[in-house]
Structure 1
């Protein structure tokens, strides 16, 4: 008869093993994490105010006019970087029928990219609290406020709280990060499916793969034209979107220079990345062991 402790241990191991196997065979953990990101983003929108950094009225870098009508509004940025890529994925799935697993991980990675980028962008925006280039126009400072000393947000007479609070959310550019996240992920997907980074790839495929990046760049430049951000905000936001999109893409797909870059990883591969086959791991172990032995022989001689 097994002891109570061993029986409990075996039961615990069995439950833990079942949970581990479930998490590997499904994407439940990915969806739970995605849900947490969505909840965190919603809480930020509802309850978090940006840090109110002090400013100088005579600072010319924040004296640009406030654009009432933006070239690319928030809604249109969602359409360009969110809805359009998603519809492209739907069209691709309907035309080529790549299989449920491939469609699933592609769309899942896309949504992870958008939500993670939005969450990180808003966290940084609120913590930094950098005034926008059009901040003085938003603030409408009280008459008689000294222009050559640091003043606090209390000198502002703006009655629209949303316009005022957004004035401290300059860094990084949300339009830039979101655009390069959604359209950047689409560009990585095109590159992988068409083997753009393999030798002798034709120019036509390369140009098609980089069209989404060009569109994202146009959205980012529009933020400069509207004086919502400066080049520093836009550059950092673009880099953030590119990095997050590549991170999310690589969780589900091999490197773009791989021979099988168009085939997603199997779920059994740990943490979303391909593991070496057992024989390849054994070969590497043998090579390392041989190198170690040769090193010892040279040392002894």
Structure 2
């Protein structure tokens, strides 16, 4: 029977039964990737297949975008005296198509691979972490980085080339490409006003002519003259290079300093500040991950910061609590070195150069360049956030893989593809699982609290009442009953 002294504590909380704490497991049986006492299963083939399908879809989208860029577009009628399309045809271009592909696609692929394989998972890895786990994280970050880049590029291509063919807007150098038949102009007039006076024909140029007036035999050059809107160079450059800038900034924590999230109104702290490469390993008592003032705290909130001798000294000198909080807040973040910022913005500046070259090469009108750049910019930001945590709070990590149950379909009412179908259950033993899971679902089955190591004796409180409590920094255990019978 349960002790009557703890029965009100259990009945007062609408939660599933509190977890039990078995005998502390050893490093040989402990699941270092997920924190449970059960060895982690291999990656489900269903999950792997779901990501293969993702790549197949992206390949199909990219292929459609490529085909759209090589079919005959709609051709908008134009005026022979339109000075906006009377610029010369420049050849060669400042940034030809092949060079734009190398810079916007191949270069990001290589840089993402170098960062993922060399710098990941970083200095947060505890000593003794199996190399297999380290390489799993490297390859997962590489996969997520490439997948996001492919999504950004493919979306940019299919949207841009589709719009080019639909609108058929003349380029600034169309007349030079067209080589119009000036002898038989009257045969091609389809709009505007024209006086049927051959002796004064060129005084009546306020009319629109059909694209059939063009005599250029090079169909590729002529067709490309009607693909001004939007700019493909601009959209591709921003899609690939802005994405790369975001990826670099994420991996090296290059962001404007911000305060960590504070405790919520319910009193629970946001544990999303657990930035260790393998968060579950930080709870292994025998492994020291970081010091009390390290960046890898289990929580970076003001309430979660460890009291330091400096704070004791400030309190003894009569410094107010508010000022102490300010002192603590100042230590939560600092500005990154400027050389890192310079490295991160180089791809962004390269994208601007590529987009600008389309202006002085007379390939696009100004609005075409700006609109194309926005297409790629939106695609880059969306694709990055689709596969990566926010830069300011994610410590450079990508989202974890989908769960086995929701690899292809989550169903109505599900808020996360990382959970199992049973409501509130997070898959146990997932290397990619964030510690925020424990803050929001502290007692759900599979939340990572089952089969956890026995909490240290020194951290227990209220033993006489049969209650085990962890310290304030581990709110997931607060108020948990042992569930033992008398």
User: Normalising by the residue count of structure 1, what TM-score does the alignment of the two structures yield?
Assistant: 0.79
Partner of 2:156: 117
Selected match of 1:90 from 113, 121, 129: 113
| Uncovered stretches (5+) of structure 2, i.e. residues with no partner | 1-43, 122-137, 186-203, 258-333, 404-415, 420-432, 443-486
Per-residue displacement from partner, 1:181-228 (whole Å, max 9, x unpaired)? 111110000111122224132333222211111011011111101000
Asked if the contact 2:66/2:157 (under 8 Å) is kept, the reply is no
2:396 to 262, 269, 273: 262
Tell me which residue corresponds to 2:440. Answer: 280
Task: Please list, as runs of the form range in 1=range in 2, the aligned pairs for 1:1-301 lying within 5 A after superposition.
Answer: 22-23=46-47, 26-46=50-70, 48-98=71-121, 99-144=138-183, 145=185, 147-199=205-257, 200-202=334-336, 203-258=338-393, 260-268=394-402, 270=416, 277=437, 280=440
User: Relative to structure 1, is the Cα distance of residues 95 and 24 closer, same or farther in structure 2, using a 3 angstrom cutoff?
Assistant: closer
Tell me which stretches of 4 or more aligned residues in structure 1 moved more than 6 Å.
Answer: 272-276
Work out whether residues 102 and 264 of structure 1, in 8 Å CA contact, stay in contact via their aligned partners in 2. Answer: yes
By how many angstroms is 1:271 displaced?
5.8
Structure number with the bigger relative contact order (C-alpha 8 A, sep ≥ 6) is: 2
1:182/1:148 CA distance change after superposition, 3 Å? same
Whether the aligned pair in 2 keeps the contact of 1:113 and 1:248 (CA below 8 Å) is yes
User: CA offsets, 1:233-257, max 9 Å, x none?
Assistant: 1111111111101111111101222
Provide structure 1 residue ranges, at least 5 long, that are not aligned to the other structure: 1-19, 283-301
Larger CA Rg, structure 1 vs 2: 2
Within 2, Cα distance between the matches of 1:197 and 1:119?
Answer: 31
Return the offset for 1:113. 1.6
Give the 3 Å change call, closer, same or farther, for CA 230–83 of structure 1 in structure 2: same
- Deviation (angstroms), 1:50: 1.1
Aligned residues: 261
The whole-number CA distance in structure 1 between the counterparts of 2:235 and 2:352 is: 10
CA RMSD of aligned residues (A): 2.5
More displaced stretch, 167-176 vs 28-37: 28-37
CA contact 2:47–2:402 (8 Å) conserved in 1: no
Deviation of 1:88 after TM superposition, in Å, equals 1.3
Deviations 1:37-95 (A, max 9, x none): 0332243245x321111111111111000002101100110111111121212322342
Name whichever structure is richer in helix by fraction: 1
Task: Tell me if the contact between 1:251 and 1:271 (Cα under 8 Å) persists in the aligned partners.
Answer: no
CA deviation vs aligned residue, 1:16-37 (integer Å, no higher than 9, x gap): xxxx992587413311321320
